[in-house]
Chain A
Amino acid sequence: MGTKILLPALSPTMEVGKIAKWFVKEGDTVESGDILAEIETDKAVMEFEAISEGVVEKLLVTANSEPIAVNSPIAIISGEDDQTANTDPPTDQDEVAATVQEETASVRVPPQVPKEKLSEEIALENVSFKSQTFREALRDAMAEEMERDELVFLMGEEVAEYEGAYKVSQGLLEQFGSKRVIDTPITEHGFTGLGVGAGFAGLKPIVEFMTFNFAMQAIDHIINSAGKTLYMSGGQMNCPIVFRGPNGAAARVAAQHSQDYAAWYSHIPGLKVVQPFSAADAKGLLKSAIRDPNPVVFLENEILYNRSFDVPELDDYTVPLGKAKIWQEGTDVTLVSFGIGMSHTLEAAQELEGLGISAEVIDLRSLRPLDKETVVESVKKTNRCVTIEEGFPVCSIGNHLSYLLMQEAFDWLDAPVTCCTGKDVPMPYAANLEKLALVSVPEIIEAAKAVSYWEK
């Protein structure tokens, strides 16, 4: 009886992968450390080694076939029993797989997403769509803008030869060359300042942060240099720069790598701040951000990178900064969110429908400028509001929305605005604690029920 070899998770957010190439064939004898295969993950192609000796009895998956889920069996190796992580335990394998699934359920299981509506400025007739990941949409946005304007260039750690730590800049080096796709040393403070200077001098830099957590080393240049110079120069010197990269929690990367900076940057006059949820918005908003003459902080999300959405097949699809999108119309409660928060919100809205609560779901998309009107109008209709975000609760985007609604829709509110946020703690590592720290679907449902005075 051989040991089943399972497809390993090779990154914190990997859900599926495929065998790019087998290095062994059936009947081969392998030793610990031998390379069995190359596995293509959501970010890279990685070698996968045998962890014990034995004979390859069967290869269960052919190379370059469709992606399969993490923990699916890929081969059977006979020989010494081995019960380490990447082999199938002799007892209940389904239970183990289920545990892995459950640990990350709050972030990994995509809800049913309603069909995305296009911004009103796009004519709906004759527009075809293609399914594209968030990651591919970002790449296409950059490629299209670089094609369109010589002054646009991309710089950051591992953006060129490695093609992006999260594969977002795949193919760009080949397409545009090393003059315009520039690998920097690991030196956030320095290369951010350098990018801002290049922006002052007329270029249109896209500065990629491997994650926004690292941008804290460079925050002086984002705020003091990029954000304030137009004002301090009496309107003479603008900085047409985009700071982009993954923001917020990924999965199990703990406190220093899991933080949502939406509220931080939204605090600053002079910066624009965007946090898209869908791939279509990611593409349209990034293109607008690159063309914008002001500094734009463009907050992406690692978990969303691999999600597919319908993206309109248009030569030049842009989405205006500062405009929210109503994903779903409703009459009983307004749910306002952005970025990954939208994922939980849409799922909650579906469950609420089952309870007879009709939720209107608004994706802010841009946090600065903020589309106050859309939120206020919606609340005047539903009389109730729940805000949803992944960031910390103190001085959150939701706090600001609550204030705006008190000022502008006080007489329409039938219940206090409730803010669902991440918890007021540094992100813990343990899977159960991380799940507790993140904003969750049940919390949103409870909040919506509470503001609706819902009784069974």
Chain B
Amino acid sequence: MVKKTVATKPKETKEQLLKLYSEMLLIRRFEEKSGQLYGMGLIGGFCHLYIGQEAVVVGLEAIAEEGDKRITAYRDHGHMLACGMDPNGVMAELTGRAGGFSKGKGGSMHMFSKEKNFFGGHGIVGAQVPLGAGIAFADQYQGNHNVTFTYFGDGAANQGQIYETFNMASLWKLPVVFVIENNQYAMGTSIKRGSSTPDLYTRGIAFGIRGEIVDGMDVLAVSKAGKKAADICRKGNGPYILEMKTYRYRGHSMSDPAKYRTREEVQQVRKQQDPIDSLRDRLLNWKIASDEEFKEIDRSVKKKVNEASEFSQKSPEPDDAELYTDVYL
């Protein structure tokens, strides 16, 4: 694990810093609640929690500009919350209700918001990567100066279509930031057992794509690297790869007992690198925010999550007639 936490006072304003904290916490609490609802049988199927990885998406969304796009795979709840999608609609989709973002027809892995430029939510490992390049292609085609943040994991990094995409994205200088969320386990296969090389960002070198490793547990480091990468792409010099070293605390999905790693390993990361705790500790040390302010944020986040949970249970199941809608436009 890289240890490169930003230790000096950052240039972000207090408001911005507390927003980062609050959004990471929202994802954490939202995911904990999702786990609970799953246990109660209210959420079905596959459910992949983002706990531990919050800094990655929150750090990048902090530097995203109006009109930028994002796309990811199925561990997507965090991405949706971070880009501003209503937690009620996300949670109601998890419970398969009419009030969900896909009217209950997509579920945890397949959610979209055209309004927020969130292009999914894709269930097939790696498929979102050429899709993301295509979204960036559309921006380039229309002369927009926007970038597409295309997220994938260390497991997806071994899919052939990633390299087909790298080739075209580099050939055509597409404005896409490839974000490798390296949480070190492709389901149950550790990166050592699944990858011939330890550093995934270097896989862009063969295609002439620049990239770097980022401490994905430090939201400030993520923002800084993200800004640089996005600026490069906006200027027409994309694509760019950011390999976020991160960690998921929970199993691959709710049904994963995670026997492939020790409890101690997880505990150690939690204690030493937790993205939320480490930001709070720094903000307290730098005397940017007080305990009371954090407590206030905690209360407001908890309230939001409880509302979402309530909404997701009250919202009705989709009408039977919805079975045959939205197959064709």
Q: Could you tell me which A residues sit within 8 Å of B by CB distance? A: 153, 179, 184-185, 187, 189-203, 220-221, 224-225, 229-238, 269-270, 272, 293-294
Distance to closest chain A CB from B63 (angstroms): 21
Measured between beta carbons, the chain B residues less than 8 angstroms from A153 are 141
A195 to B130, CA, bound (A): 8
CB of B141 within 8 A of CB of A189, answer no
Check A193 against B127 for contact (C-beta < 8 Å): yes
**Interchain Cβ contacts within 8 Å, total number:** 146
Contact A190 B141 (CB under 8 A): no
- Does A230 lie within 8 Å of B124, measured CB to CB? no
In the complex, B113 has a CB within 8 A of chain A: yes
Max chain B Cβ within 10 angstroms of own Cβ: one of A185, A190, A196, A272: A190
Q: Is B134 an interface residue (CB 8 A)?
A: yes
Most B C-beta atoms less than 10 A away, residue of A191, A233, A238, A270: A233
Judge if B245 is at the interface, Cβ distance under 8 Å: no
Kindly state whether residue B131 has any CB partner on chain A within 8 Å: yes
A237 close to B112 (CB less than 8 A): yes
Residues B134 and A198 in contact, CB atoms below 8 Å apart: yes
A224 and B161 contact, CB distance less than 8 A: no
In the bound complex, how far is the Cα of B101 from the Cα of A379, in angstroms?
45
Bound together, the chains give a CA A250 to CA B160 distance in angstroms of 30
Question: With a CB–CB cut-off of 8 A, which chain A residues contact B131?
Answer: 193-194, 196-197, 200, 221, 225
Task: Please report which residues of chain B, range 126-156, place their CB below 8 angstroms from some CB of chain A when the two chains form the complex.
Answer: 127, 129-139, 141-142
**Is the CB–CB distance between B141 and A230 below 8 Å?**
no
The residues of B that contact A190 with a CB separation of less than 8 Å are 130, 133, 161, 164-165, 167-168
- What chain A residues lie within 8 Å of B168 (beta carbons)? 184-185, 187, 190-191, 194
A232 touches B124 (CB 8 A): no
CB contact between A231 and one of B122, B141, B326 (< 8 Å): that residue: B326
A225-B122, A230-B326 in contact; A189/B103 too (CB < 8 A)?
A: no
Q: A229, B120: Cβ atoms under 8 Å?
A: yes
Interface size class of B (residues with CB under 8 A): 35 or more
Asked if B130 and A194 make an inter-chain contact with CB atoms under 8 angstroms apart, the answer reads yes
Knowing A194-B133, A197-B138, A229-B112 touch, does A272 contact B165 (C-beta < 8 A)? no
Binding site for A on B (CB under 8 A): 69, 71, 100-106, 110-114, 119-124, 127, 129-139, 141-142, 160-161, 164-165, 167-168, 171, 325-329
Give the residues in chain B near A197, CB-CB below 8 Å: 71, 119, 130-138
With A190-B161, A191-B164, A232-B106 given, is the CB distance from A196 to B134 under 8 Å? yes
B124–A185 contact, CB under 8 A? no
Interface pair B102/A198, CB less than 8 Å apart: no
A234-B120 contact, Cβ under 8 Å, with A189-B160, A189-B164: no
CA distance A252 to B124 in the complex (A): 36
Can you spell out 16 A-B residue pairs with CB atoms less than 8 angstroms apart? A185-B167, A189-B130, A190-B167, A196-B134, A197-B136, A200-B131, A201-B134, A203-B137, A220-B127, A225-B122, A229-B112, A231-B326, A231-B327, A232-B121, A234-B100, A294-B329
Out of B113, B138, B327, name the residue touching A236 (CB < 8 Å): B113
Q: Could you list 13 further interchain pairs (A-B, Cβ under 8 angstroms) beyond the known A198-B135, A231-B105?
A: A189-B164, A193-B134, A194-B165, A196-B130, A196-B131, A198-B141, A201-B135, A202-B138, A220-B124, A230-B328, A230-B329, A236-B113, A272-B328
Q: Which residue of A lies closest to B69 (CB)?
A: A201
Q: Are A221 and B127 in contact (CB under 8 A)?
A: yes
- The chain B residue with its CB closest to the CB of A238 is B329
With A179-B141, A184-B168, A197-B137 in contact, do A234 and B326 touch (Cβ < 8 Å)? yes
Determine if A201 and B139 form an interchain contact, defined as CB atoms under 8 angstroms apart.
Answer: yes
Query: In the complex, which of the residues A185, A192, A238 contacts B130, with contact meaning CB atoms closer than 8 Å?
Result: A192
Inter-chain contacts of A194 with B (CB < 8 A): 130-131, 133-134, 137, 165, 168
**In the bound complex, do residue A193 and residue B165 qualify as a contact, i.e. CB atoms below 8 Å apart?**
yes
Judging by beta carbons under 8 Å apart, are A199 and B134 in contact? yes
Q: Find B124's partner among A192, A198, A199, A224 (CB 8 Å cutoff).
A: A224
Name the residue on B nearest A202 (C-beta).
B138
Question: A200 with B164: in contact, given A233-B112, A272-B328, A293-B329 (CB under 8 Å)?
Answer: no
Q: Which of chain B's residues have a CB closer than 8 A to the CB of A201?
A: 69, 119, 134-135, 137-139
Closest 3 CB pairs of A and B: A197-B134, A193-B130, A190-B164
Give chain B residues whose Cβ lies under 8 Å from the Cβ of A199: 134
Contacts of B122 in A (CB 8 A): 225
Residue of A nearest to B113 (CB): A236
Contact, CB under 8 Å: A233 / B135 = no
Q: Which of A193, A220, A235 contacts B325 (CB 8 A)?
A: A235
Residues of B within 8 Å of A232, CB to CB, are 102, 105-106, 110, 112, 120-121
